[in-house]
């Protein structure tokens, strides 16, 4: 199947043209630069936590220093949040990252970002380690609705009904565009990454065997594999229940959240198959029509069952 032509990517109001320019022009300033990328709600924060644990383990191996997590956004800022960057007096030329991020990165000896933009917007330096997360689209859509419906409207939150969201999501009208387009921007037709410095990690694989996913990520970052004691030390902090209990360390600071009194938490259940359970008959019809318009790479067809 021939890939459809590229479409412009819709973004949140917190992203400006100068923000995209800053991302594209970014030059690594630490020995290790890592970008956790994905279509939203594909396990991004979970992988950010894995990366934090790995880079702090690397630091401990080198210096014996233990670094505690205060907030994941300090160590792994949202790359397309304009407020992550410091611009010059002309308001265009980028001078670097905000001080809290620069301090955190110096502390761990690595620069870490998370991002939801297309691959062609990424820094072109091949030394940057890219991690691309994928997840079953029904779960992505379902989780993204819960997320955006609790995000302030001025920051790009969604105020329509769930049924309206599924339709807009399937039509590629939600921030970050169509899921199929996003995957095609990062992946080849067979589902492999388009660039050698990128590792694709699937959410379901992390759920099935987190240890193997952590080891594969460590190898991609140029680290030696974790020993038994090292793995046993970090695994409890990578558990979804730990992240939910410590939500103050993981809820993004880049947007404002709306409390609707319904018990919403940015870190929800992390379950597989909830999207399929919550989809109604009309949702499923709209969802499948969307994939005719914005198909993912054929090599990602295995994700469609969830």
Does the residue 10 lie in any domain? no
Does the residue 157 lie in any domain? no
Tell me the C-alpha distance between 38 and 303, whole Å: 14
Does the residue 268 lie in any domain? no
Residue 157 and residue 144 in contact, taking contact as beta carbons nearer than 8 Å: no
Query: Residue 263: is its pLDDT beyond 80?
Result: no
pLDDT of residue 270: 56
Does the residue 104 lie in any domain? yes
Range of the domain at 111: 17-135+176-257
Predicted TM-score (pTM) of the model is: 0.92
Does the residue 206 lie in any domain? yes
Percent of the chain, pLDDT > 70? 92
pLDDT of residue 268: 54
Tokens standing for residue 147:
């997320």
What are the tens digits of pLDDT across the range 84-98? 999 999 999 889 999
User: What does 133-183 look like in DSSP terms, one character per residue?
Assistant: EE--HHHHHHHHHHHHTTB-GGGT---S-HHHHHHHHHTT-STT--HHHHH
Q: Mean of the pLDDT values across residues 247-275?
A: 70
Q: Mean of the pLDDT values across residues 115-136?
A: 96
pLDDT of residue 93: 81
Does the residue 266 lie in any domain? no
Q: Mean of the pLDDT values across residues 169-187?
A: 96
Residue 121: CATH number of its domain: 3.40.50.300
Looking up tokens 């010059």 gives 88
Tell me the C-alpha distance between 273 and 285, whole Å: 17
How many domains are contained in the chain? 1
pLDDT of residue 1: 43
Residue 140 and residue 170 in contact, taking contact as beta carbons nearer than 8 Å: no
Does the residue 275 lie in any domain? no
Does the residue 121 lie in any domain? yes
């Amino acid at each position: 199947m021939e890939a459809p032509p590229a479409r412009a990517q819709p973004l949140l109001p917190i992203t400006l043209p100068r923000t995209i320019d800053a991302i594209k022009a970014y030059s690594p300033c630490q020995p290790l630069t890592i970008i956790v990328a994905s279509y939203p709600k594909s396990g991004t924060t979970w992988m950010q936590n894995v990366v934090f644990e790995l880079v702090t383990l690397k630091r401990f191996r080198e210096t014996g220093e233990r670094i505690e997590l205060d907030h994941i956004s300090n160590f792994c800022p949202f790359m397309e949040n304009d407020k992550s960057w410091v611009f010059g007096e002309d308001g265009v030329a980028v001078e670097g990252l905000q001080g809290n991020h620069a301090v955190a990165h110096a502390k761990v000896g690595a620069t870490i970002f998370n991002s939801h933009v297309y691959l062609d917007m990424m820094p072109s330096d091949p030394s940057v380690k890219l991690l691309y997360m994928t997840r079953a689209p029904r779960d992505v859509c379902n989780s993204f609705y819960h997320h955006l419906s609790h995000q302030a409207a001025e920051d790009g939150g969604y105020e329509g009904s769930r049924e309206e969201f599924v339709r807009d999501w399937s039509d590629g009208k939600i921030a970050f565009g169509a899921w199929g387009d996003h995957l095609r921007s990062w992946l080849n037709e067979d589902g492999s990454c388009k660039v050698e410095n990128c590792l694709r990690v699937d959410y379901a694989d992390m759920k099935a065997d987190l240890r193997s996913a952590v080891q594969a990520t460590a190898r991609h970052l140029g680290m030696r594999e974790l020993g038994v004691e090292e793995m046993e030390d970090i695994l409890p902090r990578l558990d979804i229940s730990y992240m939910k209990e410590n939500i103050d360390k993981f809820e993004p600071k880049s947007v404002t959240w709306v409390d609707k009194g319904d018990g919403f938490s940015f870190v929800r259940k992390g379950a597989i198959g909830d999207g399929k359970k919550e989809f109604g008959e009309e949702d499923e019809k709209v969802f499948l029509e969307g994939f005719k318009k914005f198909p993912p790479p054929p090599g990602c067809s295995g994700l469609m069952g969830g």
